Structure 1
Amino acid sequence: MLHAVKFVGGVPYYCCRYTKTNRYKHEASAGRSLFPNPLGDSHGVPGIARITLFAMRVALGIVDATGGIGTANAGLVFHNGTLLAMSEDDMPYAVRICESGDLETVGRFGFDGENQLNSPMTAHPKLDPRTGELLCYSYSVATKPYLKYFKVSARGVKSKDVPIPLSEPVMMHDFVATENFVVFPETQIVFRFQDLFLKRTSAVVCDENKVPRFGVLPRNAEDVSGLKWFDVPGFTSLHFVTGWEEDGGEKIVLIAAKTWPLRNMFDDPASVHNTVCEVHLDMKTSLATVTRVTAAVLEIGQVDHRMITRKTRYAYYSIYGPWPKFSGVAKLDLNAPRCSNVTTISEEALEYDPAVVAWRKFGTGRFGSEPFFVPRNDDAEEDDGFLLCYVHDEITGVSELLIMDASSPKLDTVASIELPSRVPYGFHGLFVNKEKLAQQKPV
């Protein structure tokens, strides 16, 4: 389901609509769940039973899996006049924003050109604000090549896939794009379906003995001849807020939230924490170094999208609540001194950490989603704008769209819009201005 608030002449109009994926259509017609959850249903004997039952439904023609099995509910991007709703287990779905503010599903989307997309795509593509290119990848949990990189031109034409060799399929939820490179994380979260059927354990494993690494590939690569790998022991991250190049492209800087202890991710997610780190990749020496940016417990975040691929100063993060709840928002100054003398990661770090230059809590029983930065206008300086965030009050049952002043010391409220229905705790959002809406392609 997508939740949207459209502003017309200063008046907000709220809408929520299910994205009518292939999965949704089958399950809505049947009135029950038919498709397995790749992560939640891949454990032990019950997981084997669910997957086997789904395979039988496909074989008997009860469901048509060729139309996709995804939920299109993880990420959003507006590219070449089209709003795309995405989840990494399927191709994106095109959704139209109507004049009234309503949302209409157009259908599964594969881009233009002779190399049309026919496999799942990341929910975190990177839109270069200068070139208009959409940088993407696809990964498979079952068949080689496990990872493929591609890009889409500003006019919507997809390039050929560049297969990237991996020894086994890994969970790769996000990546980084700079002016000249794309960076892929080979994480410690791996898919081993043989363990599910042979050992009756989970098909999704946190392998702490594996050395995670980053693969750096030129953005315009047509093959992997220029691919370079960097080992980063013990560093697994699911979300990267930004990245850029320094020293004429000889160094790449990544800003990411490190996840730990990784072993608890599936069994005890409330005990897992994330702390924002800075990773330096030296293209000359092939060495990687990791520095902690803050001692605060933060995760999913955003930067000014006009700065994607370039060095940015500010990042806006969610404060852990614990997972999957977020209790507030914090603004980081990436130019601030590092909190190197602090050994304890805690919420109290918000008070004294030099990198945390503004923060606010939503209040008792109130939790939110990822903040999204909107510049005051196209020419505004970085940080001159607003943070938008959906917040739900578990005591009153009210959900709202909270609009904050991004440049204020306490992220002061500019407006609060009470919504007529619940907005569940979610991940990622998007703001589309009226100029882009005017470019929306007809159905």
Structure 2
Amino acid sequence: MEKNQLGLPHPYLAGNFAPIKRTRRLTRCPHTGNIPKDLAGGQYVRNGANPITNEDQGRDAHWFDGDGMLSGVLFHRTGRNDHEIEPYFVNQYVLTDVYLNAKDNRNLRRPFLPSISTLVSGSLVSIFLAVTRSILLVVLSRLPGSRRVVKRISAANTGMVYHDGRALATCESGPPMRFQLPGLETVGWYNGQRAENEPYDEGQVGFGGKGPTAFMKEWTTGHPRVDPVTKELISIHAVFFKPYVFYSIVPPRSRVASKNDGLLRPIFDAPIPGIRSPKMMHDFGVAARYTVVLDLPLLMNPIDCVSGKPAIRFNATGRSRYGVFPRYEPHKIQWYETNQCIIFHTANCWDTITDSPVAETCVHLVACRLTSASILYSAGGLSPPTPKPIPPEYAEEEQCRLYYYCFPLVADGSSERPMIRNQWALSAIPFEFPTVSPQHAMSAARFVYGCSMGSPSSYSAALGRAAKIDYIAKIDIEMLVARGTADPPQQIKGCVDKRTIVEVMQSADVNDPIKLFRMPEGWYAQEARFVPRRGASSEDDGWLLTYVFDESQLDERGECGEKAVGELWVIDAKNMRDVITRIHLPQRVPYGLHGAWFAEEDIASQRAVEATRRETREEELDLSSPLSRLRDLIEKALG
């Protein structure tokens, strides 16, 4: 395995992947086209990694590394008329402990935390040195002269969710971080009961509880789910010690039980039994009555370094296990086992109950299934390790496809073994970053939207290249699941719709289950989020919002100049052809991760805050004490 040594910039530190240096408060933007009235008063925000410490361009780096940056467009309502809308752009760093410690710290040339590239490819020595450096920086943060004590190591750079009056930025290496809409100011860490800088601190214990393991048990998935009906926040917490995964449910305050009033009660850190080792668990599935956890052979265990193995590695001959349990009873989990794969993102999950011909409950999961860990390497500018020979029954071509699972539940008291009934791809086109209409999540949503690529390769880009999105896809999963159920393809390796992107684009069928929006030549998109039309006539009656970038702005070295700008496009989700609105941004938005739509009522109903986080000014630091000078010397040595 070799790193890119062609003298080229790291593919995920160059072009529009490169971090942006400027932040802006709400800034009015020009636009082309008519802004749909359904967007009035709301805000689209996208999260992503944007390392504040970026001087060492030759370091290990990864697309998933870096400090969280929020980039948003507010559709400001200027009058009572819904058509009087003015867009405003804003971008701000998430002021985590790590960011506040590193900001303006001239001693640091590399990011505070180890790169994922180091963890997936490094030797025992390199991983040990990287982890030790971060531990020493955490210790040094407690000495005089430090800009911030680092109590939590999360970069809060992955996803976003709105729950019970709080907008939350997420990352699985820590608890969620609350931020304020529409200015994107950072409020503080959220523990499931309260966020820092909120009034009414009653010392309530939430995620993680108390004790020596609390700091790790509060680590929350990058993709917690909010039930659109009950408004509960459902999350998992993956750790390095048994039972390896914990589970939490946080009801909204209006539905929290006080005694025996029949309302909902929070669940914090309930153990999920049956998981045998620590895993990288980025996502999970939640249906109206059931939850699905993914125990896949993507191992994540720093102790493996002692035996010369990477801290993060994929076992290509391992097994994938899916644990299904009633939402409030994780101890009743049923395990389903099948061939190895990786799933970073689930699209939707729902359950069905039938009475005929026999009474049966099934849980259904649609997810983006990868057949290898290549994306973990390519997103770090690395070539994947040479695969070892595997048995033919496990061998599959390199792919990332939208995939369907059906899990029939075994009745209580039955000795029957849980078995997966259906497991096959719905389409052959590459598919990632899935989203559905929020109102239809956790139920049998008909449409899934996502990102695709027109090149014949999968999402695992070749060494020295970066995966870029040139198609937005809309897949009618209801139609394809019905087609696959009536005429099942081969289990595991089969596919319902085997057409390529070129063949799909050639289709003139108005009822085609796959519709594609193709970006203009040289333009690339990001994850798209669905916003419904008011009084929608169908599930897909609404808009897709995505940041886009025209790469003709890159110079001959493939770099962005200071004047490079991006746009936010509003696409008609029903016909997947028309760009209704183009918001012209004052700067570019780097290719990033996940976004969210916050409706006008979400912004208006945010909980009160007493303060927001801020950067420490130079004059507030104690730089003259002996301990401060010692800290300064050690930080310079660590670099």
TM-score, with length taken from structure 2: 0.64
Q: Who is 2:478 aligned against?
A: 335
Is contact 1:403–1:415 with CA below 8 Å preserved after alignment? yes
Q: Quick one: percent identity of the two aligned structures?
A: 27
The answer on 1:350 being equivalent to 2:500 is: no
Q: Aligned to 2:170, which of 73, 86, 91?
A: 86
Is contact 1:297–1:345 with CA below 8 Å preserved after alignment? no
Cα shift at 1:342: 7.2
Q: Aligned to 1:311, which of 421, 431, 444?
A: 444
Letter of the 2:136 counterpart: M
Superposition map of 1:103-252 within 5 A: 103-112=184-193, 114-118=204-208, 119-140=218-239, 142-155=240-253, 158-165=266-273, 166-199=275-308, 201-221=309-329, 224=331, 226-248=332-354, 250-252=361-363
Give the length in aligned residue pairs.
Answer: 434
Is contact 2:447–2:540 with CA below 8 Å preserved after alignment? yes
Q: What RMSD, in angstroms, separates the aligned Cα atoms of the two structures?
A: 2.4
Is contact 2:427–2:498 with CA below 8 Å preserved after alignment? no
Partner of 1:267, secondary structure, is helix
Q: Who is 2:602 aligned against?
A: 436
Letter of the 2:87 counterpart: P
Is contact 1:329–1:361 with CA below 8 Å preserved after alignment? yes
The answer on 1:16 being equivalent to 2:170 is: no
User: Measured at CA, do residues 364 and 108 of structure 1 come closer, stay the same or move farther in structure 2, by a change above 3 Å?
Assistant: same
User: Measured at CA, do residues 38 and 162 of structure 1 come closer, stay the same or move farther in structure 2, by a change above 3 Å?
Assistant: farther
Q: Who is 1:254 aligned against?
A: 365
Between the aligned partners of 2:205 and 2:325, the Cα distance in structure 1 is: 20
Q: Deviations over 1:30-81 (max 9, x none)?
A: 2434522362232213222111222233344467775211111111111111
Q: Deviations over 1:149-192 (max 9, x none)?
A: 11010228642321113211111111111111110001111013
User: Measured at CA, do residues 230 and 429 of structure 1 come closer, stay the same or move farther in structure 2, by a change above 3 Å?
Assistant: same
Is contact 2:99–2:155 with CA below 8 Å preserved after alignment? yes
Between the aligned partners of 2:363 and 2:506, the Cα distance in structure 1 is: 29
Q: Deviations over 1:256-306 (max 9, x none)?
A: 11102x143333459963111111111135111302111111111101010
Cα shift at 1:325: 2.0
Between the aligned partners of 1:172 and 1:378, the Cα distance in structure 2 is: 37
Between the aligned partners of 1:380 and 1:439, the Cα distance in structure 2 is: 27
Cα shift at 1:122: 1.0
Cα shift at 1:343: 9.1
Is contact 1:295–1:349 with CA below 8 Å preserved after alignment? no
Q: After alignment, is 154-163 or 295-304 more displaced?
A: 154-163
Q: After alignment, is 380-389 or 344-353 more displaced?
A: 344-353
Cα shift at 1:380: 5.0
Between the aligned partners of 2:241 and 2:183, the Cα distance in structure 1 is: 39
Q: After alignment, is 237-246 or 61-70 more displaced?
A: 61-70
The answer on 1:267 being equivalent to 2:377 is: yes
Q: Who is 2:414 aligned against?
A: none
Is contact 1:389–1:403 with CA below 8 Å preserved after alignment? yes
Q: Who is 1:39 aligned against?
A: 116
Between the aligned partners of 1:197 and 1:314, the Cα distance in structure 2 is: 46
Partner of 2:101, secondary structure, is helix
Q: Specify which structure has the higher proportion of strand.
A: 1
Between the aligned partners of 2:479 and 2:447, the Cα distance in structure 1 is: 10
Cα shift at 1:426: 1.4
Is contact 1:245–1:253 with CA below 8 Å preserved after alignment? yes
Partner of 2:335, secondary structure, is strand
Is contact 1:24–1:71 with CA below 8 Å preserved after alignment? yes
Is contact 2:426–2:497 with CA below 8 Å preserved after alignment? no
Greater RCO structure (CA 8 Å; 6+ sep): 2
Cα shift at 1:196: 2.0
Between the aligned partners of 1:379 and 1:349, the Cα distance in structure 2 is: 31
Between the aligned partners of 1:19 and 1:126, the Cα distance in structure 2 is: 21
Select the structure of larger CA radius of gyration: 2
Partner of 1:423, secondary structure, is coil
The answer on 1:404 being equivalent to 2:596 is: no
Cα shift at 1:428: 1.1
Is contact 2:362–2:406 with CA below 8 Å preserved after alignment? yes
Q: Who is 1:2 aligned against?
A: 70
